[in-house]
Each structure stands twice: as C-alpha cells, then as structure tokens.
Amino acid sequence: MRRRKLLFFSLILATLAIGVVIGTVVNRSVNADKPGVSPGPTAIAIPSPTQLSSEFSKVAKMVEPAVVNINTETIIKAQTRERRQSPFGSPQEDPFDFFERFFGGPMDGPGRDMKTKALGSGFLVDKAGYIITNFHVVEKADTINVSLASGDDYKAKVIGRDDKTDIAVLKIEAKKDLPTAKLGNSDAMTQGDWVLAIGSPFGLEQTITAGIISATGRGGKQYQRFLQTDAAINQGNSGGPLVNMAGEVIGVNTAILAPSGANAGIGFALPSNTATNIYNQLVKTGKVTRGAIGILMQGGTNKTLRALGAGDGKGVIVTQVTPDGPAARAGLKQGDVVREVNGRKVNDTSELSTVVAELTPGTTVPLKYLRDGKEQTVTLKVDDRAKLIPDETGEAAEPSEEERGGTKLGIAVQSLTERQAREFELQPDEGVIVTNVQVGSMADEAGLQARDVILQINKMPVRSPEELRQIVSKLKSESEVLFLIKRFDRQTGRVGTLYLAATLP
C-alpha cells in the first residue's frame, strides 16, 4: 500500500512538473513574438476631424461679427435717343420704331436711366465704423449699402480709395461701438498654412470656406503681391477677409482665376500688410503716397544675374539711375544688383517695386546690392514717387533698309540715324541698332530683337558696327556675353534699358 501511495504521489508531482515546464516554454514563445519597448520620442498625435472642425468653428465665431455684406447701386444715365434710320432707306419706316410705338415704347426724346446693382464683402477694422474692402466693389457706385452680421443696415460713404492696390475704405455711422476684425502679419504666412475665406459669394451672406495658402508672392499689377489660396472664392467674396487659424485677417480676397466664371481653386488675396499701409494713409490723408529710390530695373535670368556678379542668380538689376535721385546720391550705378531694401530681400521687380512703394517718403533706409560680385550696403533717403518719376513717352523706331555689320553673334547691325538716336534719347555715335536676328543664334537665345539698340557688350561701349565686330572677335567660345540694350515697349510706350546674357557657342 505504501508503495502504491508513493507511486501515486510521484505521478502527480511528475505531472505538475511537466505542466510547469510546458507553461514556461509557451509563455517564452509568446513573449518572443512581442517587440521590446525601448525609450524613444513621444508619438505624434493626429488631431481628429472633430477637433479640426472645432478649430474652424472657433475662428469663424471670432471673425464673423466683423464681416459685412456690401450692396452697391449705380445709375447709368441714358442719352437722348433719336429716331432710327431705316435700313431700307429714309422713305421707309424702320420696323423697330413701329413696334416701339405699338407697344408704347419711346421713339424720340430722352431714354430711361438704368440702375445696376453689384455685390461684395468687407470687414470692420475700427469700432467707429471704418471698413476695408476692394476698390472695384465700390467703383462708380452712387449708393453703398452695408449689412452687418447682426442684421443692421447702414448707408456708407467712401473715405478713400486706391485703384493700384484695389483697396477702398468705407465709413458707416452706427452711433455705437461695432465689432472689429484683428489684422495679422501677412509676412508670417507660408505655403500650406490653413486659412478661411469669409464673405458673401453670390449674395449668400456669412459664407465660410476653408483651404490653405497655395503660394505667396504671386505678382499682379504693379504694387500687388498676392497670397494664393484654394479656399473657395467666388463673385461677392471680393473685399472679404482671408483669416488665419489665430482669427487674424491676413489678406483681402481680391480676385480669382476661373475660366468658367466660378471657383476653380485658385484665388488671390492682397496681403494684410499692404492693406494696412494703404488704410492708414487713406484714413489720415485721403490719398496714398508711395516711395521711390530713382531707378529703372529689370528682373534677369540666372545667367544674366550671374554675369553681373550674383552667383546665386537672385536680385534685381539696375538698368538706369535717375540723376540726383536717392539711388544716384547713394552711389548706385547701372549694372548693380539690388538684393535687399530696409531688411527685406527682393528677388524680382514686382517685389522690389512693392517694398519701395510702401516706404514713407523722407525716411532713410539701408539697401544692399552687388557690384562685380561684391556686396555693398548704403543708406538712402526715400523720395516721393509722384515727384521723382515723370511720365515717359516714346514711339517705335523705324527699321532701316540697310543692314550691315553681321557678326558671329547671329545679328546684323547698323549705325544709328539721327532720328533713331533722338527716339532712343541717344547720340548718333552711341550704340548700334539691330536690324536682324538669326533664329536659333546666340543673340536669339539671349533675347535680342530687331530694333534693339546695343549700348555695351561685356560692359564695353559699342559706338559703331566696326567696334562691335572688334569686341566680338576677341570673345572665346563658351564665354559669357553680357549685352546692355535699349528697347521700345509698345505696351507701355516707353524706351527701357535691359541687360541680356547668353553663352557664345
């Protein structure tokens, strides 16, 4: 019996031992499949759609009370109408006059005035009732009606307008403090930032659309540098605010690129910094004064800029300096490459023009430029553009039938006639006129055109076809060639100075 009991207990213990071993092996196998946890960076939290929608809603509630709907009315005066002449000759009666008399239409005497209406948007920036909108929203309007988000309606008057930036300032008399929108710093916006557009597209008041900043610094007309957005903008959104996620206005919705006439995901807003500058001037003086430094300029290709010493291909080329202007007094010369004005980098003519225009006449600012590849800094006193830059006019130079002076550049040139010299404001022995450009030639690659006047090649003056041939004969294959030319622009009616460059085959 005792043996049987020992055998029984032994079997139980053996069974338990085997179970423990099997359990340990299985547990280790399972744990081996689990990755080890080691210290590392904190996991990135992805906002849920509900949280994002909540942010949009918060921003909308902050700004909506300050956004207004603008309705304008314009009276088109009708001119006195005369009896139409019959298309069949004077003895016969015009059938259109017959129908007008039969149905009571006017036949002679004054016609009826017509009333046209237009819609737009705007936003309050001062509790006293000052509103920023687009100039084209109120242009030629006889009556301007403003509706607030609260439902209150007011008549508005124009305080000032600036067609060059498409900004206008309105004023309503509410006899109470009004909600206002806060303006932000548009320079802080970068591609990809979330924005909301608020306004009255097609008359649908307080409509909000969301999108991102698609691009910055899009060039428009002179003095316009737009923020591009894919937030839906349509007719009626003009003048409304483009808002960042802090609830700040960073742009004034101004234009769309829409072949179909409706939103195509490409809208443009004037940056708030430009709008602020224009607003401050309009409410203070009723007009806009722009700065100028006294240069004519051009943007250049990378090759042209490198030829002038800008190794990175960035900057704006000075093509002419106004005598006794701010730039001339500071020592700038033709061929310098402007890189920075008042701490703001400039990469094209539109950007430089906008930056300088926003400077207050009479202020002194630093300017950085390159000359022969060396960076220099000067300070200059900004002048009033209206006083510094006179209107320039000109007519196209007539081409001469005589062509001579063909060169390996791929052009034919001749000396200037007295008439051509006068038209280009030159002396007869100053420059040669291009009479023909060979397609595919080095000159064609550089952008030279017939009727251009070549003043310099590689900064050496060209006074005659013979002098041009002598200069070109010394150029080696694959060398960079820099031209300084004068060209008549038919669109502006002006004679401008340009730099062009290409590589000699």
Q: Kindly list the catalytic residues.
A: 136, 166, 238
Sign of CA dihedral 96, 102, 108, 109: negative
Sign of CA dihedral 50, 53, 58, 61: negative
At 138 the three-state DSSP class reads helix
Name the β-bridge partners of 118: 72
d(CA 315, CA 479): 22
Name the β-bridge partners of 503: 480
Q: Which two tokens stand for residue 221?
A: 């007309």
Strands (E), 11-113: 67-76, 80-81, 109-110
Q: What is the DSSP letter of 361?
A: T
State how far the alpha carbon of 142 is from the alpha carbons of 115, 116, 138, 145, 164, in Å: 10, 10, 9, 10, 21
d(CA 306, CA 412): 27
State how far the alpha carbon of 13 is from the alpha carbons of 18, 21, 27, 354, in Å: 9, 12, 21, 93
- Closest residue by Cα to residue 321 from 311, 306, 332: 332
- Closest residue by Cα to residue 207 from 240, 256, 239, 245: 240
d(CA 264, CA 233): 9
Q: What is the DSSP letter of 404?
A: B
Q: Output the CA torsion 318→319→325→331 (10° steps).
A: 50
Q: Do 413 and 465 form a contact (C-beta atoms < 8 A)?
A: yes
Name the β-bridge partners of 47: none
